């Protein structure tokens, strides 16, 4: 517990600093655009309706989807820029988060700004015209000052939203306080989840209070109060931005998806690169759809993916080949289409499988999915939240004619408890999951070859294809992690008692690999 | 003090066959009007007669649909609007003081727009506070802290700040209590004299028109139906409706006079 807290605390400066800089930049950009739209909307009733409708529409898009949508969009733009000007830009992390959050901040600012200006006494507007102000002078000297308190209230709302929503930028590769939450949820590390939530909440409250000082300062027309609020905010942002300058030395970017095994492997690869004399930063918790695109475009340098995932989701193949020919075809395709180097397989598979308690399986005489099919009508099946909608399930059903008496969906932790307690007889399982060995579960064989092979493979970006440091660091890992070892490593992180951090587990794993290699 | 100014050289303000419509409603129809140097002209009319629209055509708050407006012989359409307005004082019933500015800042608005030095702005504010009979302590206050009469004094000071030659006043004292209205009206009339202004004032108050004007024009349904000095209006109105209009204060005065006579009898 103390260990976890200390671990979370150590990560705070980096996460907080990125979170603050991202939120501040998004607010600044959002404000500039919003204020321009406010001016256009108050000057023309014809513009007003579409502007307000557009801002409201953005709010109806789920924020996570909004963030995720910007990645492919920017990737396409970057490709276009690269083609036209010969200069691309990184579509991962900061930029998509910035744009999505800036859009997200707009509604309260626009709504309050428009209301604030339109609610000004018409006599005051007539006086402003009567004394000979131009439209701009009227805006700066009369309309904006009078709308300022209401506008500030909108800015406060927007700031709180942006700081909260910025936690969702982790899956598109932007480090934020959301890294605590995403990794914590995945690793069942509630200290980390709570730490992230509390940090984001405290940040939002502090910023809200400071903006509140500015707001009351504007309402009371107290310049010192406004200046104090602005100065405190500026100092806060400047202090938060300080650690950013120091991270510039890192040269390699190690990417990872959002589950325990990936966190361990990212820590393992980072440690290996450091030992080989390189410096690496991590982009963890990336969405499955984002991570390959990030590698292909060079936003990350290396990560571990699974052959079946690439086969089905990236190559969009629907056939199910055998293991070796599939890896060879994949290697050739990756090199040809994306210049991506497949360094090799780590030595284990993390496939979907069906698992039963060993005693129950033996009692029923089940060793393969074909055996299972004969008993399925008396058995109940539990799956994780997405299993029943995945192609693997459809493939299994059609290959073996599986028809269970009942089926239920579970969050993974509860799914393992359910099979342990006999509430369900069969569960969907990832084959490298440590709980399979720990709970003495049997993964049923797939004689028909219905499920795609999911070999864990190390992928390297085009620009690092011949990088010595990377090859020296990672080559010893190829073929060095058998399934049982990965299962044990995963179990150290996933178990409910004596949980270890991914970093500690990565160190353990590295020692194990070294010991076995000798 | 007879004021009709024909034959006193060039008119300061000249409207010729101006028309202004709002949709299908014609507010002002083909009106000609000249205002002469040092003249105090009152436009008298019921609400909806078009008098406010006519007034606002002079500083182009309501540009005419057709016809010409000339200030000192130059068409207003040829001048940038805000430049035009900076040189014409404008006072209206709802005052429209800027609520976020102090009294001094409100008065200083137009001089600052014209780029006066801070020194001359400050001197001008002091001068104007005295001119409209407001104590100097009022300068740092916000409009919300003032009475209705004080606010309109600031309104008049703000309009006079950049030393305009022309003052446009749209029922400026209409919202004030009768005592304040009377004293502000006569104080303003003295300012008009002293500063040699041209004033065009709109009102529906016949007595106010009679007491302040050099010349009265009566508007009805977007047109001028009568024009003359207060004396001519009282004694020789050619128009039957205008006669009825002028009879009203006359009747009131006769009754008040009778009451005074009664009171004097032992």
pLDDT in tens, chain A (518 residues): 567 788 788 788 888 988 999 999 999 999 999 999 999 999 888 999 999 898 888 888 887 787 777 777 777 777 777 777 766 666 677 888 888 899 889 999 999 999 999 999 999 999 999 999 999 999 999 999 999 999 999 999 999 999 999 998 887 778 889 989 888 877 777 888 999 999 999 999 999 999 999 988 888 888 899 999 999 999 999 888 877 665 555 588 899 988 889 999 999 999 999 888 888 888 888 877 788 888 888 888 999 999 988 888 888 888 888 888 999 999 999 999 888 999 999 999 998 889 999 999 999 999 999 999 888 888 999 988 778 887 788 888 888 988 888 888 887 778 888 898 888 999 998 888 888 888 889 999 888 888 888 999 999 998 888 888 888 889 999 998 999 899 999 998 888 778 888 889 999 999 998 888 75
pLDDT of residue B13: 95
Whether B76 is in a domain gets the answer: yes
* pLDDT for B110 beyond 90: yes
Whether B40 is in a domain gets the answer: yes
The answer to whether A222 faces chain B, any CB pair under 8 Å, is: no
Is residue A210 within 8 Å of A156, Cβ to Cβ? no
Give the A:B interface size as CB pairs under 8 Å.
63
Distance CA A66, CA A160 (A): 18
User: Could you say which of A121, A132, A142 has the minimum Cβ distance to residue B86?
Assistant: A132
**Model ipTM?**
0.90
pLDDT digits (tens, 9 = 90+) for B231-265: 998 887 778 888 888 888 888 888 988 888 887 77
Whether B97 is in a domain gets the answer: no
pLDDT of residue A188: 72
Q: How far is CA A213 from CA A29, A149, A204, in A?
A: 22, 11, 14
Tell me the three state secondary structure of residue A368. Answer: strand
The answer to whether B82 faces chain A, any CB pair under 8 Å, is: yes
* pLDDT for B229 beyond 80: yes
What CATH number was assigned to the domain covering residues A352-443?
3.40.190.120
Q: For A2-247, give the CATH class.
A: mainly alpha
Q: Which domain holds residue B58?
A: 8-82+203-266
Residue A324: alpha-carbon gap to chain centroid: 32
Do you know the residue count of chain A? 518
Contacts of A134 in chain B (CB under 8 A): 82
A131:B84 CB<8 A: no
Sheet containing strand B166-170, strands side by side: B88-92, B166-170, B198-203, B40-45, B215-220, B223-228
B110:A131 CB<8 A: yes
pLDDT digits (tens, 9 = 90+) for B133-158: 999 999 999 999 999 999 999 999 99
pLDDT of residue B2: 40
* CATH topology classification for A250-349+453-517: D-Maltodextrin-Binding Protein; domain 2 (3.40.190)
B158:A131 CB<8 A: yes
A130:B85 CB<8 A: yes
B84:A126 CB<8 A: no
The answer to whether B86 faces chain A, any CB pair under 8 Å, is: yes
What is the nearest CA distance from A146 to chain B, expressed in angstroms?
7
Mean pLDDT of B160-175: 93
What is the nearest CA distance from B217 to chain A, expressed in angstroms?
24
Specify the pTM: 0.74
Q: Residue A21: which of A116, A108, A93 has the closest Cα?
A: A93
Distance CA A347, CA A473 (A): 17
- Report angle CA B225, B228, B231 to the nearest 5 degrees: 130
Residues ≥6 apart with Cβ < 8 Å to A277: A469
The answer to whether B264 faces chain A, any CB pair under 8 Å, is: no
The answer to whether B62 faces chain A, any CB pair under 8 Å, is: no
The answer to whether B150 faces chain A, any CB pair under 8 Å, is: no
- Nearest residue of A to residue B110 by CA position? A131
Is residue A404 within 8 Å of A379, Cβ to Cβ? yes
CATH of the domain at B15: 3.40.50.300
Can you spell out the DSSP letters for A90-127?
--STHHHHHHHHHHHTHHHHHHHHHHHHHTS-HHHHHH
Whether B260 is in a domain gets the answer: yes
| Domains contained in chain B, number | 1
Output b/e per residue, A233-272; b: 16+ Cβ within 10 A.
beebbeebeeeeeeeeeeebbbbbbbbbbbbbbbbbbbbb
Tell how strand B13-22 and strand B25-35 pair up. antiparallel
Distance CA B106, CA B144 (A): 13
First to last CA, chain A: 35
Domain ranges of chain A: 2-247, 250-349+453-517, 352-443
pLDDT bracket for residue B5 (50, 70, 90): very low
Fold match, A2-247 / A250-349+453-517 = no
């Amino acid at each position: 517990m103390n260990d976890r807290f200390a671990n979370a605390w150590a990560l705070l400066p980096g996460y907080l600093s990125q979170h603050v800089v991202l939120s501040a930049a998004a607010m600044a950009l959002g404000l500039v655009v919003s204020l321009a739209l406010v001016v256009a909307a108050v000057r023309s009733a014809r513009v007003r309706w579409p502007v307000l409708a557009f801002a409201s529409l953005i709010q109806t898009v789920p924020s996570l989807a909004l963030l995720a949508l910007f990645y492919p969009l920017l990737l396409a733009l970057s490709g276009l820029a690269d083609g036209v000007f010969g200069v691309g830009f990184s579509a991962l992390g900061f930029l998509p988060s910035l744009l999505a959050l800036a859009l997200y901040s707009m509604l309260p600012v626009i709504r309050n700004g428009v209301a604030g200006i339109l609610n000004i006494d018409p006599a005051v507007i007539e006086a402003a015209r009567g004394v000979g102000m131009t439209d701009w002078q009227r805006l700066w000297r009369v309309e904006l000052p009078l709308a300022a308190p209401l506008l500030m209230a909108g800015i406060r709302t927007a700031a709180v939203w942006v700081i909260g929503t910025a936690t969702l930028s982790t899956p598109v590769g932007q480090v934020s306080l959301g890294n605590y939450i995403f990794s914590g949820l995945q690793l069942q590390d509630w200290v980390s989840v709570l730490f992230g939530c509390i940090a984001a909440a405290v940040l939002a409250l502090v910023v809200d209070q400071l903006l509140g000082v500015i707001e009351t300062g504007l309402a009371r027309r107290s310049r010192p109060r406004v200046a104090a609020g602005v100065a405190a905010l500026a100092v806060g942002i400047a202090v938060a931005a300080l650690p950013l300058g120091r991270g510039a030395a890192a040269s390699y970017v190690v990417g990872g998806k959002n589950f325990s095994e990936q966190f361990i492997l990212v820590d393992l690869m980072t440690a290996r690169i450091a030992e080989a004399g390189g410096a690496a930063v991590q982009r963890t918790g990336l969405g499955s759809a984002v991570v390959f695109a990030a590698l292909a475009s060079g936003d990350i340098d290396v990560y571990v993916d699974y052959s079946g995932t690439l086969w089905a989701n990236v190559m969009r193949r629907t056939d199910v080949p055998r293991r070796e020919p599939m890896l060879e075809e994949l290697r050739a395709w990756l090199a040809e289409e994306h210049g991506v180097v497949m360094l090799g397989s780590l030595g284990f598979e993390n496939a979907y499988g069906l698992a039963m308690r060993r005693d129950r399986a033996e009692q029923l005489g089940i060793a393969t999915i074909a055996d299972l099919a004969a008993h399925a009508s008396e058995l109940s099946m539990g799956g994780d939240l997405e299993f029943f909608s995945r192609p693997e399930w459809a493939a299994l059903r059609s290959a073996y004619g599986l028809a269970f008496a009942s089926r239920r969906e579970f969050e993974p932790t509860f799914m393992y408890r359910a099979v342990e307690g006999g509430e369900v007889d069969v569960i969907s399982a990832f084959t490298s999951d440590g709980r399979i060995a720990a709970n003495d579960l049997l993964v049923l064989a797939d004689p028909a070859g219905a499920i795609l092979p999911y070999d864990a493979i190390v992928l390297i970006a085009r620009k690092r294809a011949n990088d010595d440091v990377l090859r020296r660091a990672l080559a010893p890992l190829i073929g060095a992690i058998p399934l049982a070892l990965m299962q044990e490593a995963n179990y150290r992180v996933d178990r409910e008692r004596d949980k270890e951090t991914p970093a500690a587990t990565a160190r353990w794993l590295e020692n194990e690999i070294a010991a076995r290699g000798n | 003090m007879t004021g009709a100014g024909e034959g006193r050289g060039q008119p300061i303000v000249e409207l010729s066959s101006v028309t202004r419509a709002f949709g299908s409603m014609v507010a002002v129809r083909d009106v000609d009007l000249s205002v002469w140097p040092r003249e105090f002209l009152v436009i008298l009319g019921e609400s909806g007669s078009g008098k406010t629209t006519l007034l606002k055509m002079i500083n182009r708050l309501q540009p005419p649909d057709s016809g010409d407006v000339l200030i000192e012989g130059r068409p207003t359409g040829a001048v940038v609007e805000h430049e035009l307005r900076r040189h014409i004082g404008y006072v209206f019933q709802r005052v429209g003081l800027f609520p976020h500015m102090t009294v001094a800042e409100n008065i200083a608005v137009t001089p600052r727009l014209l780029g006066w030095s801070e020194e001359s702005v400050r001197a001008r504010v002091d001068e104007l506070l005295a001119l409209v009979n407001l104590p100097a302590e009022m300068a740092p206050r916000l409009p919300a802290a003032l009475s209705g009469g004080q606010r309109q004094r600031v309104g008049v000071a703000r309009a006079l700040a950049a030393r305009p030659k022309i003052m446009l006043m749209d029922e400026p004292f209409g919202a004030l209590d009768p005592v304040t209205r009377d004293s502000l009206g006569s104080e303003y009339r003295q300012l008009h004299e002293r500063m040699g202004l041209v004033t065009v004032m709109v009102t529906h108050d016949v007595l106010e028109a009679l007491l302040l004007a050099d010349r009265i024009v009566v508007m009805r349904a977007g047109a001028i139906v009568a024009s003359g000095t207060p004396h001519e209006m009282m004694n020789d109105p050619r128009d039957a409706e205008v006669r009825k209009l002028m009879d009203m204060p006359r009747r009131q005065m006769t009754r008040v006079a009778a009451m005074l006579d009664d009171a004097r009898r032992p």
